[in-house]
Amino acid sequence: MKNFDLETLVRPNILALHPYSSARDEFTGDEGIFLDANENPFGERNRYPDPHQRLLKKALSERKQIPVESIFIGNGSDEVIDLIYRIFCEPQRDRVIICPPTYGMYEVSANINNVEVIRVPLNDQFQLDIDKILSFDAQCIFVCSPNNPTGNSLQNVERLLREFRGIVVVDEDYIDFSAGDSFLKKLKEYPNLVVMQTFSKAWGLAGARVGVAYASSPIIAFMDKTKPPYNVSALNQEEALKALSHPAEFERELSIILEQRSLLERELKDLPIVHHLYPSDANFLLVEVTDANKIYQYLVDKKVIVRNRNSVVRNCLRITVGTPEENRKLLDELKKVEK
Ligand X SMILES: *Cc1c(COP(=O)(O)O)cnc(C)c1O
Strand (E) or helix (H) holding 194? strand 193-198
Decide whether 94 or 171 has the Cβ nearer to ligand X: 171
Decide whether 77 or 192 has the Cβ nearer to ligand X: 77
Q: How far is the CB of 77 from ligand X (least distance, A)?
A: 3
Centre a 10 Å sphere on the Cβ of residue 6 and count the other Cβ atoms it contains. 17
CA distance readout (Å), 7 to 87, 153, 186, 221: 11, 31, 21, 12
Decide whether 119 or 266 has the Cβ nearer to ligand X: 119
**In sequence order, what are the residues at sequence separation of 6 or more whose Cβ sits closer than 8 angstroms to the Cβ of residue 263?**
327
Of residues 81, 226, 207, the one with CA closest to residue 144: 81
Q: How far is the CB of 76 from ligand X (least distance, A)?
A: 3
Strand (E) or helix (H) holding 325? helix 324-336
Q: How far is the CB of 147 from ligand X (least distance, A)?
A: 7
CA distance readout (Å), 184 to 134, 172, 187, 194, 302: 23, 10, 5, 9, 42
Strand (E) or helix (H) holding 263? helix 247-269
Q: How far is the CB of 308 from ligand X (least distance, A)?
A: 16
Q: Residue 75: CA atoms inside 13 Å, Cβ hemisphere, count?
A: 14
Decide whether 15 or 206 has the Cβ nearer to ligand X: 206
CA distance from start to end of the chain:
51
Decide whether 153 or 198 has the Cβ nearer to ligand X: 198
Pairing type for strands 167-171 and 116-119 reads: unpaired
Q: How far is the CB of 243 from ligand X (least distance, A)?
A: 13
Decide whether 122 or 273 has the Cβ nearer to ligand X: 122
Residue numbers of the site for ligand X (CB under 6 A)? 76-78, 103, 144, 148, 171, 173, 198, 200, 206, 211
Helix (H, G, I), strand (E, B) or coil at 300: helix
Q: How far is the CB of 23 from ligand X (least distance, A)?
A: 28
Q: How far is the CB of 74 from ligand X (least distance, A)?
A: 8
Cα maximum dimension of the chain: 70
Distance separating alpha carbons of residues 96 and 108, to the nearest angstrom: 12
* Neighbour-count burial of 312, counting CB atoms closer than 10 A to its CB (0-12 exposed, 13-18 middle, 19+ buried): middle
Handedness of CA 174, 222, 78, 130 (dihedral sign): negative
Q: How far is the CB of 12 from ligand X (least distance, A)?
A: 28
Task: Please work out, in degrees rounded to the nearest 5, the angle formed at the alpha carbon of residue 305 by the alpha carbons of 127 and 74.
Answer: 60
Helix (H, G, I), strand (E, B) or coil at 195: strand
Decide whether 80 or 273 has the Cβ nearer to ligand X: 80
- Amino acid letter at 75? N
Decide whether 173 or 239 has the Cβ nearer to ligand X: 173
CB nearest ligand X: which residue? Answer: 76
Q: How far is the CB of 82 from ligand X (least distance, A)?
A: 10
Decide whether 106 or 222 has the Cβ nearer to ligand X: 106
